[in-house]
Structure 1
Amino acid sequence: MSVPISLFQVALAAALIGLNILLSWRLRLGLGRDILIAGTRMTVQLLLVGLILGWVFALRSPWPILSIGLVMTVLAAQAAVGRTRGRYPGIFLDAFAAIFGSSFILTGLALSGILQIRPWFEAQYAVPILGMVLGNTLTGVSLAQDRFTSDLSVSHSAIEERLALGATRWEAAHTTVQTAVRTGMVPTLNSMAVMGLVSLPGMMTGQILAGASPGVAVRYQIVIMFVIAASSALGSLGAVLLAYRALLDPRDRLQTERLGGGGPR
C-alpha cells in the first residue's frame, strides 16, 4: 500500500520551488514569473486530472476512452508545434498525424498484444500508458520537425544546387531527413541507456511506491520503454516525411518560402 499524502504535505513540497525562484533572482535569470506560472499550472492540471481519472477509470465503453485519447493527442500536437521554430502551413496537421498514428498503433499493440489487457480499453491501463507514449513521442516529433526545417533553411542553397544538377528531391534532401529522424530518436535512446543505473523511471518508481514487487515494476517499465522507443522513432519518421512532402514538391522544387514563424497553422 502506498503512503497517503495530504494537501499540507503537497504544500510543503511546493515550497521547494522557492529555491528555483531564489536562484533566478540572485543570478538575474528572469525566470521567476515563468517558474511560478509553470508550478501553478502543473499543480492545477494534475489536481484536475486526479479528479477526472476517478470518473474515467469507471468507464466501460471504448468511445469515451478514445475521445480522451484524441484530446490528449491534439494537445500533444500543439505542444510539439509550439517548440518548433521553422513552421509551414499544415505543420499542425502533420504533427497530429505523426503523433496520432505512432502513439495509437504502439499503445494498442502494447495493450492488446503484449500486456493482453482485457478489455483492451481498460482505462486504468489505457490512459496512463497512452499518456506516457504521447509525452515522449511529442518530444521526438518536435525535435525532428525543428531539426528538419532548420536544416532546410540553413542548407537550402546546397539542396537547390543538387536539384539544379538533376538530383531528385529525395537525393537532394535524404541526408537532412536522416539527421532529423536521428535527432528525434536520440533523447529516448539516451534515457534507455542510463535507466536503472543513473535514473529510476517514474512508472517503475510509482508502482513500487504503490506496493508492487520490484520485479513486476521492472518488467512493466521495460515493456513501456520499448513501446515508447518504437513510437518515438515512428513518430519522428512520419513527421519528417510529411514535412519533406510539404517543403519539396513532386516537381523536385524546394519551397523554403513556405517556412516562417508564428503559431500553429
Structure 2
Amino acid sequence: MILLTPFDLALASLLILINAGLSLFLRLGIGRQLMISAARATAQLSLLGFALKFIFELIHPGLLGLMVLFMLATAGWEVMRRQSLRFAGPWGFGIGTGAMCLSSFLITLFALMVIISQDPWYTPQYAIPLLGMILGNTMNGIAIGLDRLTQTLWEKKAIIETRLMLGQRFSEAVSDIRKDSIRSGMIPIINAMSVAGIVSLPGMMTGQILAGAPPMEAVKYQILIMFLIAGSTGFGTIFAVTAGARRLSDHRERLRLDRLKKY
C-alpha cells in the first residue's frame, strides 16, 4: 500500500481552494461553506483515526456500543438539520433516528452475524466501517424522503384538505405524496447501483484495490455493501416517511401542519 504524506494531502487541498476561488469569482456564495466543510472533514476524520486505533486494540463491546450510539445520534441530528420544514418537538430528531436504528443497525447486525460471520461479531474493524457506510447512505435517503414529504404536504395543503372534506381518509389523501417521497429517498442508491462498474468505481472497491486486495474480492465486498445499503435505505425511508405522514394527521383524520416548524 502506498502511504500518503501530509504534503500529498496539502496538494489535494488545492482543489478545494481553487473551487472556493471560483465560487468567489462567480458569486456563487458557497466558498465559505466549502472551506468549512473541508476543514470539518479533515478534523473529524483525523479524530476518528485516533479513536479507531484505540478501539481496534481493545475490541470491547461497550466501547463499540458507545461509538454506535454516537454515530446514530449524529446522523439523526443531521437528518433533522437538513429539513427546511422540521417536525416540532422531539419528533424532529426521533423519526429519523428511529428509522435509522431500525434499518441500519439491524441490517449491520445481520451482515456481521450471518453473512460475514466474524468471531466475535462485534470486532470493531468490521462493525464500525460497515455501519458507517450503511448509516451514511441511509441517512441521505431518509433526509430526502422526509424533506420531500413535508415540502409537498405544505405546498398542496388545499388539495389534501379538499380530499379530506370529500370523505377520503388521510392515508388515501396523501398516498401519492407518500409514494413519491419514498421513491425520492431511494433514487440515490438506485442510481449508484445502476452505474456501478460502468460510470463509477465505488469507494470501498477502489480503496481495497488501492490497498492491494485482489480485484474480484473487492468486487464481492462492494456488491455486498451496495445490497446492504439498498436494503437499509429502503426500510429506513419507508418507515420514516410513513411515520412522518402519520405524525401530520390526528385521530380525526385532519392535516396537522401546525406540527411543523419552518426554518
Give the TM interval when normalised to the shorter protein. over 0.9
Q: 1:173 corresponds to which residue?
A: 174
Q: TM-score, normalised by structure 2?
A: 0.96
How far has the Cα of 1:12 moved from its partner?
Answer: 1.7
How far has the Cα of 1:30 moved from its partner?
Answer: 2.3
* Root-mean-square deviation (Å): 1.2
Q: Is the 8 A contact 2:170 2:253 kept in 1?
A: yes
Report 1:123-142 matches (<5 A): 123-142=124-143
Report 1:32-111 matches (<5 A): 32-89=31-88, 90-111=91-112
Equivalent-residue separation in structure 1 for 2:255 and 2:29 (angstroms): 40
Q: 1:27 corresponds to which residue?
A: 26
Equivalent-residue separation in structure 1 for 2:113 and 2:213 (angstroms): 22
Q: 1:223 corresponds to which residue?
A: 224
Q: 1:185 corresponds to which residue?
A: 186
Equivalent-residue separation in structure 2 for 1:147 and 1:179 (angstroms): 8
Q: TM-score, normalised by structure 1?
A: 0.95
Describe the superposition over 1:180-209 as per-residue Cα deviations: whole angstroms up to 9, x where unpaired. 111111110001100111111111111111
Structure 2 residue 10 is matched with structure 1 residue 11: yes
Describe the superposition over 1:220-252 as per-residue Cα deviations: whole angstroms up to 9, x where unpaired. 000000000010111111111111121011221
Q: Which amino acid aligns with 1:238?
A: F
Q: 1:249 corresponds to which residue?
A: 250
Q: Across the two proteins, how many residue pairs are aligned to each other?
A: 261
Q: Is the 8 A contact 1:136 1:228 kept in 2?
A: yes
Q: Is the 8 A contact 2:17 2:35 kept in 1?
A: no
Runs of 4+ in 1 over 4 A off after TM superposition: none
Q: Which amino acid aligns with 1:164?
A: M
How far has the Cα of 1:87 moved from its partner?
Answer: 1.2
Q: Is the 8 A contact 1:77 1:96 kept in 2?
A: yes
Equivalent-residue separation in structure 2 for 1:108 and 1:23 (angstroms): 44
Percent of counterpart pairs with the same letter?
A: 43
SS of match in other structure, 1:248:
coil
- More displaced stretch, 149-158 vs 13-22: 13-22
Describe the superposition over 1:77-114 as per-residue Cα deviations: whole angstroms up to 9, x where unpaired. 11111111111221211111011111001111111111
How far has the Cα of 1:62 moved from its partner?
Answer: 1.7
Equivalent-residue separation in structure 2 for 1:169 and 1:30 (angstroms): 41
How far has the Cα of 1:22 moved from its partner?
Answer: 2.2
Equivalent-residue separation in structure 2 for 1:40 and 1:210 (angstroms): 25
How far has the Cα of 1:42 moved from its partner?
Answer: 1.0
Equivalent-residue separation in structure 2 for 1:28 and 1:94 (angstroms): 37
Equivalent-residue separation in structure 2 for 1:36 and 1:4 (angstroms): 25
